[in-house]
């Protein structure tokens, strides 16, 4: 690990397992635990550090001075990257999907305050940016600049995600995680025991393509996983009254804060599947809270 990363990594707290208690779990005889990656760091929370850790190590090993990436106006990835850039004294540039007109979102205000240069691009140009996956694949990249694809969806990201799975000391039957790019799911599939199964809950509509994206990232083909496409609530960052009610009730019952883009949708879907007898009595499920709570500011 590059020396510059050691002081940063020491800031992180343990990701504990919290047992969830709810009548439906008792009725169905299901044991549910939440892996609290939301507690890792007040800013670089959840799977963002998991995915960025070894990417940053690679960038620093190349003596890169500028990190360039892409995201939406409430991107957890860009938010974390801008903060890390400030700490490591690296320049950061974010390509933002959307119109620069109007006030910046709180997420982008933070990113700019931490030194990130914001470059707004059309949705068409943003889709083109998604085609560039390698760290040196962005056209026009200058010496010392390092490209991170959307969400940090890069093979190196899987190494940090695998560490999350290695921290789980309880035996389990199912591991559940929200899916945006599918990178976190791929990293977990590579790392979990062969007898366990993984479920990704797609956060966006028409996300069948994620099956191929995840498959491409796996070290070897595995058949112990699938992606549920039924709980996107109309699309990425779309919500509904039932979803928001569930999140409120979950927070009141557990004291755990959720957000409606990723973890909230996953847990809604998971509870619904439990009600539908998808899991066998006596099975143990671990769900990963992928953080991103700063995004709640977009739903106030």
Which SS3 state, helix, strand or coil, does residue 200 take?
strand
201: closest CA among 183, 187, 218, 182? 182
Whole-prediction pTM value? 0.94
Q: What is the DSSP-derived secondary structure letter of residue 172? A: -
**Can you give the pLDDT of all 300 residues of the chain as single tens digits?**
899 999 999 999 999 999 999 999 999 999 999 999 999 999 998 899 999 999 999 999 999 999 999 999 999 999 999 999 999 999 999 999 988 888 999 999 999 999 999 999 999 999 999 999 999 999 999 999 999 999 888 889 999 999 999 999 999 999 999 999 999 999 999 899 889 999 999 999 999 999 999 998 888 888 999 999 999 999 998 999 999 999 999 999 999 999 999 999 999 999 999 999 999 999 999 999 999 999 999 886
Q: Give strand pairing partners of 121.
A: 97
How far, in Å, CA of 247 to CA of 259, rounded? 8
Identify the pLDDT of residue 136. 94
- Using an 8 Å Cβ cutoff, are 184 and 47 in contact? yes
Residue ranges with strand state E in 133-278: 145-147, 174-179, 197-202, 225-228
Identify the pLDDT of residue 164. 92
């Amino acid at each position: 690990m590059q020396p510059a990363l050691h002081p940063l990594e020491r800031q992180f707290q343990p990701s504990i397992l919290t047992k969830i208690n709810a009548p439906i779990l008792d009725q169905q005889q299901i044991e549910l635990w939440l892996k609290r990656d939301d507690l890792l760091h007040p800013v670089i929370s959840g799977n963002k550090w998991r995915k960025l850790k070894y990417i940053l190590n690679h960038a620093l090993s190349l003596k890169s001075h500028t990190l360039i990436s892409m995201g939406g106006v409430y991107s957890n990835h860009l938010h974390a990257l801008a903060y890390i850039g400030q700490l490591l004294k690296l320049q950061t540039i974010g390509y933002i999907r959307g119109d620069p007109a109007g006030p910046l979102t709180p997420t982008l205000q933070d990113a700019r305050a931490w030194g990130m240069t914001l470059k707004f691009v059309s949705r068409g140009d943003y889709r083109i940016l998604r085609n560039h996956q390698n760290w040196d694949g962005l056209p026009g990249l200058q010496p010392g600049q390092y490209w991170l694809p959307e969400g940090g969806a890069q093979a190196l990201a899987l190494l940090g995600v695998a560490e999350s799975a290695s921290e789980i000391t309880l035996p389990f039957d199912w591991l559940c995680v929200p899916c945006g790019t599918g990178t976190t799911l791929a990293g977990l599939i590579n790392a979990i025991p062969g007898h366990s199964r993984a479920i990704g809950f797609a956060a966006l509509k028409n996300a069948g393509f994620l099956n191929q994206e995840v498959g491409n990232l796996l070290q070897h083909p595995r058949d112990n996983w699938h992606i549920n496409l039924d709980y996107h609530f109309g699309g990425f960052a779309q919500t509904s009254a039932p979803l928001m009610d569930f999140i409120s009730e979950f927070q009141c019952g557990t004291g755990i804060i959720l957000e409606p883009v990723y973890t909230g949708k996953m847990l809604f879907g998971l509870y619904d599947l439990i009600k539908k007898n998808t899991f066998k009595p006596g099975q143990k499920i671990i769900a990963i809270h992928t953080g991103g709570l700063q995004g709640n500011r977009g739903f106030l």
